[in-house]
Amino acid sequence: MIVFHLTISSTVSIAQAPYSLPGGSPKPSLSPPFRVIKCAYWPSFDGFPLTSIDTSYFTHLYYAFLLPDPNTYNLAITALDEEMLPLFVSTLRAKKPLVKTILSIGGAGNDPKVFSAIVNANSTRSTFIESAIEVARTYGFDGLDLDWEFPLNQQDMINLGILYKEWWKALKIEAKATGRTRLLLSSAVYYASTVFKYSPSPKYPGESIRKYVDWVSPMCFDFYGSWDMVTGQPAALYDPTSNISTSYGIHSWIDAGVPPNKIVMGLPLYGHSWKLKDPLVHGVGAPTTGAGGPNNGNMIYSAIVDFNRGQNATVVYDGKTVSTYSYVGDMWIGYDDGRSVTKKVEFARVNGLRGYFFWALGQDKDWSLSNQEDTKTERLNASNCHKSASHLPSVLPFEPAPPGEHIGSSSSAAQTQGVFTLQDVGSKLQILTVNMGEVKTRLGDIDTRLGAIDTRLGVVETKVQSLR
């Protein structure tokens, strides 16, 4: 893992003022009321039974993955896919509550250069788009998802922006021609708006995403793993010493011009394990000799829970990073548990994100992480925004619209009492002007104190476990 030298603050924005796109033009952080999204990816190769999925915890479920043929650029459908695609859709359609189904294309196993070739010309983009729409409609999906890991250079990013635009246009044309509801379009992306793993580091086309994608899904995990020779938190919410954190990544997307309500934050249902070089040195950053087990040290959450109990491992909650680790002997595991997932969900809500997703469905124990928050019917409005942040300092207070008035939209469907947006914010809503430098300092102090409290609680928890 390359450590990036950009130091960031670990503070949380309680409510967001209008952000600016390049050029200084203020844009709204929220649109008219939207359904909060809670997704999960179902790997067709993983074997988790479709009939065992509890859809009450989700709004959208992804089929992972189909790959483009490297020669024709049409979607390649394997024998397994021929069996699983119709089964995935039909099984989920029979469940209550109903969820949207999305077909994901790509994944970590796909050669990123194939996508580079696809987006490089109008003809190849057209072939790919037509094939994706045809397959989605044939099997009855509600949407399509692009998981390109990752665009290799800035030209790839420029071409990706063109692909989004042409894909969006094709989806609208197809929907109008057939009289069907337009297919959704989402895109799984790097945790930050700049892909730091490459040099020079390419930047995603924020403007194209804002205009032509329903939402993007930053993959906020795998920050550290067995490829690093020291232990680290694989999905830290905060890291006050670097830009390797979920909070940095999410805010980089917003700074790139992507509205918060087009961001669906990624959460892992797995962790990474290491073999400690010295069992007596077992904190974050401890030297290691490699992976702590098979699969390059990857462990799904249910296996981590069983391991901790079976081996009587010491479990430590790290309040500074909002993550958890456990150790016993020379084994060290970094992961998210219920406490850290709950805090991340709160982070998503407080920052006005569209929602969050899990990789991968069924990897937690008895849905113990998936059930941390039920958002299937929630709509982000003034009342629940105040409720979710009621225990936090009010930095930028927002007021509901007066009865009968909807702020910032002339749409009759949006004339909902109490719903707030930031459309036409300058004329419709007065926002308290605050000194943001002072606010960040105060929030930083609060965050530090909470981290200290959480660390102490972790020590107490460890002592209690040792007494059992």
Please check whether residue 134 lies inside any domain of the structure. Answer: yes
Per DSSP, 15 falls in state: S
Q: 317-352 burial, b if ≥16 CB within 10 A, otherwise e?
A: bbbbbbbbbbbbebbbbbbbbebbbebbbbbbbbbb
Answer whether residue 252 shows pLDDT above 70.
Answer: yes
SS3 label, residue 62: strand
- Report the pLDDT averaged over residues 384-390: 36
18 close to 28: Cβ distance less than 8 angstroms: yes
pLDDT in tens, 155-178: 999 999 999 999 999 999 999 999
Task: List the structure tokens of 419.
Answer: 């719903």
- Report the pLDDT averaged over residues 397-425: 27
- Report the pLDDT averaged over residues 4-11: 29
Q: What amino acid is encoded at 5 in this protein? A: H
CA–CA separation, 128 and 394 (whole Å): 48
- Supply the pLDDT for residue 174: 99
Peptide bond into 360 cis (omega under 30): yes
pLDDT in tens, 83-97: 999 999 999 999 999
Q: What is the pTM of this model?
A: 0.77
- Report the pLDDT averaged over residues 270-277: 99
Please check whether residue 408 lies inside any domain of the structure. Answer: no
Residue 382 pLDDT level (bands cut at 50, 70, 90): very low
Q: Which residues pair with 316 in a beta bridge?
A: 325
Please check whether residue 44 lies inside any domain of the structure. Answer: yes
- Supply the pLDDT for residue 347: 97
- Supply the pLDDT for residue 389: 35
- Supply the pLDDT for residue 372: 82
Q: Which region among 241-245, 353-357, 401-405 has the lowest average model confidence (pLDDT)? A: 401-405
- Report the pLDDT averaged over residues 422-442: 34
Please check whether residue 418 lies inside any domain of the structure. Answer: no
Percent of the chain with pLDDT strictly greater than 70: 72
CA–CA separation, 320 and 393 (whole Å): 19
pLDDT in tens, 300-329: 999 999 999 999 999 999 999 999 999 999
Please check whether residue 463 lies inside any domain of the structure. Answer: no
- Supply the pLDDT for residue 451: 54
Nearest to 119 by CA among 164, 84, 150: 164
Average pLDDT, the chain: 81
Domain span at residue 241 reads 19-25+34-274+338-372
**Cα–Cα distance list, 122 to 126, 205, 224 (Å):** 6, 18, 38
CA–CA separation, 51 and 418 (whole Å): 39
- Supply the pLDDT for residue 5: 28
Answer whether residue 384 shows pLDDT above 60.
Answer: no
pLDDT in tens, 193-241: 999 999 999 999 999 999 999 999 999 999 999 999 999 999 999 998 9
Catalytic annotation on 149? Answer: yes
Tally of domains in the chain: 1
- Report the pLDDT averaged over residues 32-44: 85
Q: Which region among 137-141, 150-154, 256-260, 433-437 has the lowest average model confidence (pLDDT)? A: 433-437
Of 130, 134, 149, 399, the active-site residue reads 149
Q: Report the CATH number at residue 122.
A: 3.20.20.80
CA–CA separation, 437 and 414 (whole Å): 35
- Supply the pLDDT for residue 351: 97
Q: Which region among 318-322, 421-425, 454-458 has the lowest average model confidence (pLDDT)? A: 421-425
Please check whether residue 411 lies inside any domain of the structure. Answer: no
258 close to 209: Cβ distance less than 8 angstroms: yes
- Ramachandran area for residue 322 (φ above 0: left; ψ -120 to 50: alpha; else beta): left
Please check whether residue 286 lies inside any domain of the structure. Answer: no
- Supply the pLDDT for residue 381: 34
CA–CA separation, 111 and 67 (whole Å): 9
Please check whether residue 356 lies inside any domain of the structure. Answer: yes
- Supply the pLDDT for residue 47: 78
- Supply the pLDDT for residue 33: 55
